[in-house]
Chains A and B, each alone.
Chain A
Amino acid sequence: MTSADPSTPAPAEGARLRAERATLGYGDAVIARDLDFALADGAVTAVIGPNGCGKSTLLRALGRLLRPSSGQVLLDGRPVGSLPPREVAQTVAVLPQAPQAPPGLTVADLVSRGRHPHQSWYRRWSAEDAAAIADALRMTGMLELAERPLERLSGGQRQRAWISMALAQGTDLLLLDEPTTYLDLAHQVEVLELVRELNTEHGRTVLMVLHDLNLAARYSDLMVAMRAGEIRACGPPAEVLTPELVAGVFGLDSRIVPDPVTGGPLVVPVGVLSPDRT
């Protein structure tokens, strides 16, 4: 069922952010027990898995939005729970799933709030802030739309605005929870092209939760497949995406064929195997 050893992602030379024997859940409900995970530096990693498998929970724990009930999350070898939140926020940016904004908030307002961990009560718009905000807007192509309120943007533009905010935070690590949800295919590709560019041209390490297996395979260096709170496989897309894994993780009968554009793996569903998948 596993095509790679889950505990050691193949091409990872280093991992600044990792979870060690982390037990994650909400209240009494445990989603994942004793989870080990290392986020490969300098790569784009996509987490896939069925609904409720713990993908977002893992991302939230890595982003310090959720405190593990046991075990720990380490950033540069130090437990994130004991680091000042501000310091963590200067290294790791998190974009939660379906984030909310007050009505009337403009793109520039939103992106400038990404500078929060770098500011203080008297230093609210330094030259570095201005540069980071302008760069973040430029990288996502949002500079011309800077004065537009968020509610007057298309879904793809809105998502790019939120990614700009995370970029303005100026972190080396970027965690994106389902950045393509609610977007049509063209806008999904637009967002993922941006993610790819952030990695190749700006050296950002990216972890993202995605639902579409084929887009995940195409836009990531490493894939992590989860089911029922466990990491079932971790490695390059071509090694992770096998008919056995898709069957084991999603309960889906499928064929894997070469993607005619990139030559990477392309999952073609045949039918549902087990009706009782969670």
Chain B
Amino acid sequence: MTPRSAAAESGDYAPPGRRVLRLGPASWAWRPRAAAVSVLAAAVLLALFARALVAFDDYPMGIAEVVRVLLGGGDDGQRFIVFELRMPRALTGALVGAALGLSGALLQGIARNPLASPDTLGIGWGASVGAVAVIVVGGSAGGVSGAAAQFGVPAGAVAGGLAAAFAVFALAWRAGVQSGRLLLIGIAVSLVCSNLVYWAMTWSDVQDAARAQTWVTGSLHAADWERVGAAAVALAVLLPTALIAARTVGALGLGDDTALGLGVRVDRVRAGLLFCAALLVCAATAAAGPINFVALAAPQIALRMCRSPEPPVLASALLGGALTLGADQLAAGLFPIQLPVGVFTAVLGAPFLMYLIIVRHREARL
């Protein structure tokens, strides 16, 4: 056994680049670099949020006036603009982006592959199939309105997304999940689902198709407080869950065998984390439609900034929120007509995907 004296001396050991925090029975080792990145991301997120409240649409309102409205002043028109238009939209953007960033971090961790995301695993398109089915079927049955619009579309998104996630993992399962097979099947399911969406849109009448098209591109136009609430609840439950699970994701990163040897119930943990990630994607998709690439890009940007081996959970969520808010402001500000946010996250995200593939290819060659 280990000599006790040596053990006592090394009880304060902390590896380079980490600080140890102990409070009673609780203890953490944290990285100043990752903490700094999280603080920076939070600052950017807040700045973009503030900008969204002050200057978003054509309605002229200075900072002083917005502050007065926030403090309870201003006229009815100003209050409406700030509380009913700008704030729900900014909050939805931030929450949806955070949920997507977080889901990407979890999926990339459990698949051990930077290309794993709701987009490549079919979850996003699965949610779209569910939502578009409700729009089209509901539409042909007399227009999406009332309860159908409020609950039907989100419920369809959740059902479709969870079904796709389940299908992908069930098909990829063969005494464990291997990430190459998972991605191939995920991409296949994505393609099937995206074609189902386009088929449904072709088949439906013009008005429903237009409504479905707006929804499929991903948009924050229709943000309201109900959607903010749903996304906030999902994130409030699942972010702490993800932070707690991060330790086990680290063990999973060493491969199934090593993780089993470390006492991790590999299959159960992976299924649980997948369910969390899928729920996050469904909540985000229900609130704003499918927003591409945030879940893929945010965790990889966070990983590179923090220089951590796995996508850092908190920083991924914060950067996802910032990326989505940023894309929405670009979408709203650059062109005379308002483009949906989904267009811009894709424009920002597609080159990044290519960059990732090229870098990964080079790493494999080294």
A residues bordering B, Cβ < 8 Å? 26-27, 60, 63-65, 84-90, 92-96, 99-106, 108-110, 112-114, 116-117, 119, 121-135, 138, 146-147, 166, 169, 202-203
Which secondary structure dominates chain A's binding surface? mixed
Residue of A nearest to B21 (CB): A125
Residue of A nearest to B17 (CB): A147
Q: Pick the residue among A102, A117, A147 that contacts B263 (CB under 8 A).
A: A117
List 4 A-B pairs, minimum CB-CB distance, nearest first.
A89-B263, A108-B15, A134-B10, A94-B261
Complex interface bits, B20-43 against A, C-beta within 8 A gives 1, otherwise 0: 111001111100000000000000
Q: A130-B12, A138-B6 are in contact. Are A96 and B258 (CB under 8 A)?
A: yes
How far, in Å, is A235 (CB) from chain B's closest CB? Answer: 28
Q: How far is the CA of A262 from the CA of B49 in the complex (A)?
A: 74
The B211-259 residues at the A interface (CB cut-off 8 A) are: 244, 247-248, 250-251, 253-255, 257-258
| B274-282, B307-315, B320-328, B337-345 - interface stretch | B307-315
How far, in Å, is B21 (CB) from chain A's closest CB? Answer: 8
Known: A103-B309, A130-B13. 12 other contacts (CB 8 A): A63-B261, A94-B261, A108-B18, A110-B254, A113-B251, A121-B247, A125-B28, A133-B10, A133-B15, A146-B15, A166-B261, A202-B1
Q: Is the CB of B263 within 8 A of A86?
A: yes
29 A–B contact pairs at CB < 8 A?
A: A65-B261, A87-B263, A89-B262, A92-B261, A99-B254, A99-B258, A100-B255, A100-B258, A104-B307, A104-B309, A105-B309, A109-B250, A110-B254, A112-B15, A116-B251, A116-B264, A121-B247, A125-B14, A125-B29, A126-B22, A127-B11, A130-B14, A131-B7, A131-B10, A133-B10, A135-B6, A146-B15, A202-B1, A203-B1
Q: Is the CB of A124 within 8 A of B16?
A: no
Residue of B nearest to A108 (CB): B15
B175 at the interface (CB under 8 A from A): yes
Q: Is the CB of B255 within 8 A of A85?
A: no
Q: Which residues on the B side are within 8 Å of A116 (C-beta)?
A: 247-248, 250-251, 262-264
Q: How far is the CA of A124 from the CA of B261 in the complex (A)?
A: 18
Residue of A nearest to B2 (CB): A135
Q: Which residues on the B side are within 8 Å of A203 (C-beta)?
A: 1
B260 at the interface (CB under 8 A from A): yes
Q: A90-B263, A117-B263, A130-B10 are in contact. Are A106 and B15 (CB under 8 A)?
A: yes
Q: Is the CB of A85 within 8 A of B265?
A: yes
B76 at the interface (CB under 8 A from A): no
Q: Which residues on the A side are within 8 Å of B363 (C-beta)?
A: 103
Q: Which residues on the B side are within 8 Å of A64 (C-beta)?
A: 260-261
Q: How far is the CA of A64 from the CA of B261 in the complex (A)?
A: 7
Interface size on B, residues (CB 8 A): 45
Q: Which residues on the B side are within 8 Å of A90 (C-beta)?
A: 263
Residue of B nearest to A139 (CB): B2
B8 at the interface (CB under 8 A from A): yes
B residues bordering A, Cβ < 8 Å? 1-2, 6-8, 10-18, 20-22, 25-29, 112, 175, 244, 247-248, 250-251, 253-255, 257-258, 260-265, 307-310, 363
Residue of A nearest to B1 (CB): A203
| From A60, A89, A102, residue with most partner B Cβ within 10 Å | A102
Q: Is the CB of A85 within 8 A of B12?
A: no
Q: A116-B247, A202-B2 are in contact. Are A65 and B26 (CB under 8 A)?
A: no
Q: Is the CB of A89 within 8 A of B17?
A: no
Q: Which residues on the A side are within 8 Å of B16 (C-beta)?
A: 108, 146-147
Q: How far is the CA of A203 from the CA of B8 in the complex (A)?
A: 19
| From B16, B253, B260, B264, residue with most partner A Cβ within 10 Å | B260
Residue of A nearest to B6 (CB): A135
Q: A116-B263, A133-B13 are in contact. Are A96 and B257 (CB under 8 A)?
A: yes
Q: Which residues on the B side are within 8 Å of A93 (C-beta)?
A: 261
Residue of B nearest to A104 (CB): B309
Q: Is the CB of A127 within 8 A of B2?
A: no
Q: Which residues on the A side are within 8 Å of B261 (C-beta)?
A: 63-65, 89, 92-96, 166
Q: How far is the CA of A129 from the CA of B27 in the complex (A)?
A: 10
Q: Which residues on the A side are within 8 Å of B257 (C-beta)?
A: 60, 65, 94, 96, 99
Q: Which residues on the B side are within 8 Å of A128 (C-beta)?
A: 11
Q: Pick the residue among B7, B10, B22, B309 that contacts A109 (CB under 8 A).
A: B309
Q: Which residues on the A side are within 8 Å of B22 (C-beta)?
A: 125-127
Q: How far is the CA of A130 from the CA of B320 in the complex (A)?
A: 33
Q: Is the CB of A131 within 8 A of B255?
A: no
Q: How far is the CA of A88 from the CA of B21 in the complex (A)?
A: 28
Q: How far is the CA of A147 from the CA of B16 in the complex (A)?
A: 6
How far, in Å, is A1 (CB) from chain B's closest CB? Answer: 33
Residue of B nearest to A129 (CB): B27
Q: Which residues on the A side are within 8 Å of B21 (C-beta)?
A: 125
Q: Is the CB of A65 within 8 A of B260?
A: yes
How far, in Å, is B153 (CB) from chain A's closest CB? Answer: 36
How far, in Å, is A187 (CB) from chain B's closest CB? Answer: 21
